[in-house]
Chains A and B, each alone.
Chain A
Amino acid sequence: MRGRTSKTRPVEVIDWPAAIHSALKSQRVRQVSYVPDAGHKRLIELCHADQSMTVVPLTTEEEGIGLAAGAWLGGERAALLMQSSGVGNCANALTLAATCAFPLLMLVTMRGEAGERNPWQVPMGQATPEALRLSGVRTLRLGRAEEASAVANSAAKVAFEEQSAVALLISQQLIGVKSFEEKR
């Protein structure tokens, strides 16, 4: 209510997608591709609004692996945003990262974790870390909003300075659970 002063200290909500966007910017990421996920909604909007970034919507996640390789050949850094269900689409394209040591930065919002209401999301979500590992992609975990900047920066450094493939898995707990209730 307006005008009323609260004696309790307001809980500060950390804008973790903005922290990831800042990390991408400071790591000089110029091409951002995505298959959308609700958990990536704000980050996608921030990237679209950023004149220094070329944003490339994909029809399927594996396209982003090729895009990132081409960007690197041309001297640019790329990031690839997806939901965990898209990781399964990437397996063979990840050959590019594994055999050519292309840098690859994947930001993966997790489904199928605690609180998931859609059982169809569970198999791929549960298999995601292992599927990435089997394809030669290192995984890092982001579970708490206050860690977003540090973890996103270190993921980008793994990708671009070590020239390796890394996926930052963003916990469903951080994103919030899709409710399947009617919007009011």
Chain B
Amino acid sequence: MKALNRREVVASLLKRRDGLLVVAGLGAPAWDCAAAGDHPFTFPLWGAMGSACMIGLGLALAQPGRRVLVVTGDGEMLMGLGSLATIGAQRPGNLAVVVLDNERYGETGMQKTHTAYGTDLAAVARACGFATARIIRRNAEVSDVRSGIYRGKGPLFFQVKVKADALPLVLPPRDGADLKHRFREALLGAQ
């Protein structure tokens, strides 16, 4: 079966995003989110690998009235696997995690990740108590992911199998302090 195009998946998840708060994991997921359009409600990571889900959890707990989406990669998710257990213990209803799984470390030479050897991240998330945890392989299922992110009962986890393409870099801003300020100002008003 042909894997999905990561840019198209992210673009369809982030179009008409309204008040959706997004944390983008380092590397290709951050570029994918940037390609979908820079936005003050996107906080892209350039480092701190393994932290994306936990940033999403802190944000979801602080903003229970908003929907929060973490978009990250399989390598980043594997480094923070314990965070799935931590999220499972909290069960925030407003948090969704989308892992763009190309089964590769895309930024470092396309080495295989553990998902290439069979690690089933969705099964891990399910075992940790996520309300929904699915592997997504077909374009027709992307609308399920979208409705889950915006309306589903969380925490939700979608492991989206994507092609291992090296796509053109579309870089988000990289000044972390500025990214933080603009996010908070857009969300909370002038501080």
Is the beta-carbon distance between A73 and B59 smaller than 8 angstroms? yes
Interface bits B55-88 vs A (CB < 8 Å: 1, else 0):
1111111110000000000000000101101100
Q: Taking the complex as formed, is A52 at the interface, i.e. its CB lies under 8 A from any CB of chain B? A: no
Closest to B52 in A: A66
- The answer to whether A76 touches B51 (Cβ under 8 A) is no
The minimal Cβ–Cβ distance linking B184 to chain A, given in whole angstroms, is 6
**How many residue-residue contacts, CB under 8 A, span A and B?**
121
Contact (A67, B48) CB under 8 Å given A58-B86, A74-B62:
no
Decide if the interface of chain B is mainly helix, strand, loop or mixed.
Answer: helix
* Residue B43 CB within 8 A of the other chain: yes
Are A92 and B47 touching (Cβ within 8 A)?
A: yes
- Check B47 against A70 for contact (C-beta < 8 Å): no
B interface vs A, CB < 8 Å? 21, 23, 43, 46-63, 80, 82-83, 85-86, 89-90, 176-177, 179-180, 183-184, 187-188
Spell out A's residues near B (CB within 8 Å).
30-31, 54, 56-60, 62-76, 78, 92-93, 95-96, 99-102
Nearest 8 interchain pairs by C-beta: A70-B58, A74-B62, A66-B54, A59-B82, A100-B176, A66-B51, A70-B55, A76-B62
18 A-B pairs with C-beta separation under 8 A: A31-B58, A60-B82, A65-B54, A66-B58, A67-B54, A69-B51, A69-B58, A70-B58, A74-B187, A76-B61, A76-B62, A92-B50, A93-B48, A99-B177, A100-B176, A101-B176, A101-B180, A102-B180
